[in-house]
Chain A
């Protein structure tokens, strides 16, 4: 990219991709914004052909004053936070374990990554019917084996169950990123710390963890983006019941179940705002790590 010619060539070649991606992002965004200011109830005969009524901020006020709004925000944050904590903590431990030399290391690493390749819908179904079913599930058999009363997971601890399912899916991602980060740690640094008199736990705290901070930041940021839009796992398991209705799911219900596109679009705009607040918040906390 040294010469003027190569720079402009690069720009021209990039342009189609940039235009396409920009359009991909802008069209739905503008349509959402447009609908959010309109009364749009298809079942009552509203349609784009006949023209929609402008209702100002009515949809926004109704969405936020609904009794399900704040609980849904809270559920979203609990779910995202729970999955992040579980995946990062277990991810670090698993990564350190997989970094040790042992027989069959290659096979085990591939097995660990496997859950990531399972579609969310499928993994939720597998967990619901195979693992968590209160009568025939593997977990219920396990509980009975130890003489305990089987837990009916999805109705007794619904939010926890979904966090568990989603964590299972995202743990491989966290482990993979953290494993590559651990492998890039200079072993002489650990040896130096050992010579300096740091016992294993303090070596982990003073050397390994700071080395991983950047990878942890990346895991948290990427996962947050995807976790805010969890849908399939809720749809397949609880259908939003028992306090598992996240903001994403609430918007889905407003649009599909209540057939109120305007209200749902207003919710979508709130979701964008929430995502940005979370993103800015995260960037502030962890952004320092990316500067290094």
Chain B
């Protein structure tokens, strides 16, 4: 069980309201990702759910019970911190066992659970080491181990992968997703990286300045972004926004089109421009195109290695059906 419901939750630090009234329901077993640029309040929101910060007004319900004034330890949630927050003077075994010892569980049961968690996370060989002797990825796994032994109602992850190098991050991303598949426990995951959000989430919550911009599955957000912010934030490389004359043709103020929805053609394209930087990745080529008369730069993805170089003229055809239209307030027009 692990259904979490926020009702009209606000948070103020002094006179500054960082989270205006906010409603959100996280279903049992769901992998929810809070994503947004830094300072958007996503970590604060997570800490409110954890109970590490008091909410200013509103209520938090966990499994239908009011948990607003319940202390963090009694909420049945486990948290993995950005810095891992392992206890440096304790061995891996003692780190993982710590929450169980605090719960005064008997030693045999503690040993059993620690062993089980260690084997799930491939930590069995490291149980007697200190955190200082482990690599970043192993520390990360210890932190996860410490969370799973308690069998919590939900896991809270606060940017857990941001201290790892790129290759390890991809690996841990898969491990956490697999863990979720296996445990089927509610997980709330905070990140500023939209790739992590897209790859892991069942449900993404896009936040900006404490306000929920959109909630939905990754593909929902990709296909039907509710406004300009979500459209620009989800998807990589960023969506191109075009204003002015070209937008007017579609009877609106701004149109958006993703780089992968513009086709490169030999000649007589609807649009044309000069290639600025061409990023050749082998599988794809990203062109940054200037002098199109549409926007300052236009990003286009071509599949495979297209042999256009810096300074060449490029012809483009947008796929009309993939064009997103936004009104003057930045909201999507269906």
Interface of A toward B, CB cutoff 8 Å: 186, 188-189, 191-199, 202, 206-207, 210-211, 213, 292
Contacts and interface: CB of A to CB of B under 8 A. Distances in A.
Nearest to A203: B102
B87 A191 contact: no
B52 A191 contact: yes
Contacts of A193: 87, 98, 102
B85 interface: yes
A189 B143 CA distance: 11
A198 B87 contact: no
A198 B86 CA distance: 14
B234 interface: no
B207 interface: no
Given A188-B81, A193-B98, 7 more contacts: A191-B85, A192-B79, A193-B102, A196-B146, A198-B73, A210-B87, A210-B89
Contacts of B166: none
B102 A198 contact: yes
Interface of B: 50, 52, 71-74, 77-79, 81-83, 85-90, 98-99, 102-103, 146, 150
B103 A197 contact: yes
A217 to B, nearest CB: 13
Contact of B79 (A189, A195, A199, A213): A195
A191 B81 contact: yes
Chain B interface, >50% SS class? loop
Contacts of A202: 102
Nearest to A187: B85
Nearest to B47: A191
Contacts of A188: 81-83, 85
Contacts of B89: 210-211, 213, 292
Contacts of A198: 73, 98, 102
A194 B87 contact: no
Contacts of A292: 89
A191 B146 CA distance: 13
Contacts of B146: 192, 196
Contacts of B82: 188
B46 to A, nearest CB: 12
A198 to B, nearest CB: 5
B102 A196 contact: yes
Nearest to A189: B85
Nearest to A190: B85
Nearest to A213: B89
Find the residue from A186, A195, A199, A206 having the highest chain B CB count within 10 A: A195
25 contacts: A186-B83, A186-B85, A188-B83, A189-B87, A191-B52, A192-B86, A192-B87, A194-B73, A195-B72, A195-B73, A195-B79, A196-B73, A197-B73, A197-B74, A197-B99, A197-B102, A197-B103, A198-B73, A202-B102, A206-B98, A210-B89, A210-B90, A211-B88, A211-B89, A213-B89
